[in-house]
Amino acid sequence: MDHHFVQEMDLWADIPSEAARRIIQGAADSFALRGFHATTTRDISASSGLSPAAMYVHFSSKEELLFEITRRGHEDVLDLAETILGSDGPPDRRVRDFVYAFSRWHAEHHDIARVAQYEIAALSDDHAEVVGALRFKISQLARTAISEGVDAGVFDFADVPGVTTAVLSLGIDIARWFRPGGHYTPDGVGHLYSVLVLRMLGYEGV
């Protein structure tokens, strides 16, 4: 069990059945490798080490697995946004700490993040709506903190929605290009991006 595997298993920690946890991890690995549409039930069972029938005991369909992965990924990021951006500190520190954690999350969970970002079109309408609501909350938390920084005079940028889009986009795209064992560590990307974002926001002294 490698480090990567352990980290992703945290996202499924509240699922009581060990078999269900193995299936969801197997599905996440398969979707990340082949894409949702090209993944078969057989791929998921091979990757989880369980029989194809075992999948249907715990999940009604491949789409339900995609939804569980996507929802849990977004909820984990929302937790992080609520904890950091919703805290009492000054807005520049909250934004910096959020960008560090958000970037680091997308590097550490790059497989889950790719599934959660690029397969949204494969979700049912009801499920897409649930995920859309989570995305909206994350975005609103970021926008509010940036706006508070502008009001406090520590940030200086007129187009707050525009810069918020760029800040979140920069973090999300890490999931596309990040390779474990490459030039960057998750910690290194987090530090780099927190400096670059403070600069984008017109924060003095970075």
Q: Is 136 in the site for its own copies (CB under 8 A)?
A: no
R_g of the chain, CA atoms, integer Å = 18
Which single residue is written with the structure tokens 């290009």? 177
Give the nearest distance from C-beta 10 to its own copies in angstroms: 26
CA distances from 135 to 116, 154, 165, 179 (A): 11, 26, 12, 25
The site map against its own copies for 46-75 (x = CB under 8 A) is ------------------------------
Give the nearest distance from C-beta 168 to its own copies in angstroms: 9
- 169, 179, 181, 205: residue in contact with its own copies (rule CB under 8 A): 169
Rounded CA-CA distance 11/24 in Å is: 10
Give the nearest distance from C-beta 99 to its own copies in angstroms: 12
Q: Where are the alpha helices (DSSP H) in 35-90?
A: 41-48, 52-58, 62-85
**Using CB under 8 A, which residues numbered 94 to 123 contact its own copies?**
117-118
Our measurement of the distance from residue 147's CA atom to the centroid of its chain's CA atoms, rounded to an integer in Å, reads 23
Q: Is 41 in the site for its own copies (CB under 8 A)?
A: no
Rounded CA-CA distance 22/92 in Å is: 40
- 31, 36, 67, 100: residue in contact with its own copies (rule CB under 8 A): 36
Rounded CA-CA distance 84/79 in Å is: 9
Q: Judged by CB, which is closer to its own copies: 117, or 147?
A: 117
Q: Is 88 in the site for its own copies (CB under 8 A)?
A: no
Secondary structure (DSSP) of 4-34: HHHHHHGGGTT---HHHHHHHHHHHHHHHHH
Which single residue is written with the structure tokens 């497989």? 111
Q: Is 150 in the site for its own copies (CB under 8 A)?
A: no
Question: By the criterion CB under 8 A, which residues form the site for its own copies?
Answer: 34-38, 117-118, 159, 161-163, 165-166, 169-170, 172-174, 176-177, 183-184, 192-193, 196, 199-200, 202
